[in-house]
Amino acid sequence: MSGHEYTVPAPGLDAAEVAEPGAVTIVVPTFNESANVGQLLRQITESVPARLPCEVVFVDDSTDDTPEVIRRAAQDCPFPVAVLHREEPVGGLGGAVVEGLRAAASEWIVVMDGDCQHPPSLVPELVATGERANAGLVVASRYIEGGSRAGLAGSYRVAVSRGATWLTKALFPRRLHGISDPMSGFFAIRRSAVTADVLKPLGYKILLELAVRSRPRQVAEVPFVFQDRFAGESKSTAKEGLRFLHHLAGLRTASPLARMVGFGLIGASGFVPNLVGLWALTVLGMHYVPAEIVANQFGVAWNFLLIEQLLFRDRRAHRRWWDRLGRFALLANADLVLRIPLIALLVDRFRMGALPATALALVLTFVLRFVGTEALVYLPRRRRGARTTARRAV
């Protein structure tokens, strides 16, 4: 576990009691929430321990005094409180939640935000619902009867939230079946229902990651009213929105078939810089064979950038970027050894133009390029040393 950890035990509640069936670990990821964490601990104290034994684990990526504020506020709490401060916020808020899942001592884990928009009074109900329904995951939803998104500030955030919900449910209709609010950051999950090592979070939508990569068979929902933020400003930014889209692309292309489709679409988009370059070079008087070689580099660069970001973002850690680029370019240009004779055959024997001959050859060599790229450039991440190399990923 990275970072510093301390635990403030509570009088009258032994730490061993927390791990009993029916107890709960509340995992709270925080980033500069010093103005909120004291109030959050007070709310938890008022509503949870009397109904359910609990512990609270803050996983903190803050650059302010949030850990110190938690330490002071924890002195008055009748339950254990721990802080895991990460020097490197790998995976963003979602990565912090995964660290919390690993540290949790209870069978039930409740994940909630640190800004007081998720009511702690609902924690016992989430666990009780999971026990009654024999569910592995219980989602606090704003979009079922009794729920509300009232705490979302402004029509813009409401529209973004609804649009993101619609998009994710459209992309993952089977995995998200029965989950009305996949964007929720408030949920309960059994430790036995999730393997933290299979999760590859990016950004703040950890429920989506859990549901797609490690969804329990049985899922239940509980309505909740999204509260106003107690203090500070939302961490939702345009940058986080882009990370969310990257995350969606990575989840959607996780299977080999989906990656092949994505590879094909990216390759198709690479036709544009390739063919434009070929056209410009041949207009300038270059013979089509050397023009093919030069123009191919435009398509190679374009495809590499998109493949890195959209298809193999989570499989880049075992090689440095220049190694990946070199292998990708070598493979793409080796493809010319097969493609140029084929283009020459189409041009000389079948009297096709250079442009349509190039397009047809690119299609015919597609499968070989995909298999070679996956096998030689983006090999599966090795388990040994994975935590060390992950910090070196570009």
Residues 208, 59 share a domain: yes
- For the cut 80, the answer to whether the pLDDT of residue 25 exceeds it is yes
Other C-beta atoms lying within 10 Å of the C-beta of residue 352: 17
Task: Give mean pLDDT, residues 350-364.
Answer: 84
Total domain count, the chain: 2
pLDDT digits over 130-166, tens only?
A: 999 999 999 999 888 888 776 565 566 667 677 777 7
- For the cut 70, the answer to whether the pLDDT of residue 229 exceeds it is no
Residues 221, 189 share a domain: yes
Q: Is residue 44 part of a domain?
A: yes
In this prediction, residue 232 carries a pLDDT of: 54
pLDDT digits over 112-133, tens only?
A: 988 888 999 999 999 999 999 9
Residues 83, 45 share a domain: yes
Q: Is residue 327 part of a domain?
A: yes
Q: Is residue 247 part of a domain?
A: no
pLDDT digits over 279-311, tens only?
A: 999 999 998 888 888 888 888 889 898 888 777
Residues 379, 281 share a domain: yes
For residue 64, count CB atoms less than 10 angstroms from its CB and return exposed for 0-12, middle for 13-18, buried for 19 or more. Answer: middle
Q: Is residue 380 part of a domain?
A: yes
Residues 280, 202 share a domain: no
Q: Is residue 250 part of a domain?
A: no
Residues 174, 38 share a domain: yes
Residues 171, 86 share a domain: yes
Q: Is residue 74 part of a domain?
A: yes
- For the cut 70, the answer to whether the pLDDT of residue 352 exceeds it is yes
Domain harbouring 79, CATH code: 3.90.550.10
Tell me the pLDDT band of 26, cut-offs 50, 70 and 90. very high
Task: Give mean pLDDT, residues 235-249.
Answer: 67
Task: Give mean pLDDT, residues 12-26.
Answer: 56
Residues 263, 229 share a domain: no
Tell me the pLDDT band of 29, cut-offs 50, 70 and 90. very high
pLDDT digits over 38-60, tens only?
A: 999 999 999 999 889 999 999 99
Q: Give the whole-number percent of the chain exceeding pLDDT 70.
A: 80
Residue 331's domain comprises 256-390
Q: What is the mean pLDDT of the chain?
A: 79
- For the cut 50, the answer to whether the pLDDT of residue 16 exceeds it is no
In this prediction, residue 122 carries a pLDDT of: 94
Tell me the pLDDT band of 321, cut-offs 50, 70 and 90. confident
pLDDT digits over 333-349, tens only?
A: 777 677 888 888 889 88
Residues 334, 195 share a domain: no
Residues 361, 262 share a domain: yes
Residues 283, 221 share a domain: no
Residues 85, 146 share a domain: yes
Q: Is residue 249 part of a domain?
A: no
Q: What are phi and psi of 58, to 5 degrees?
A: -90, 130
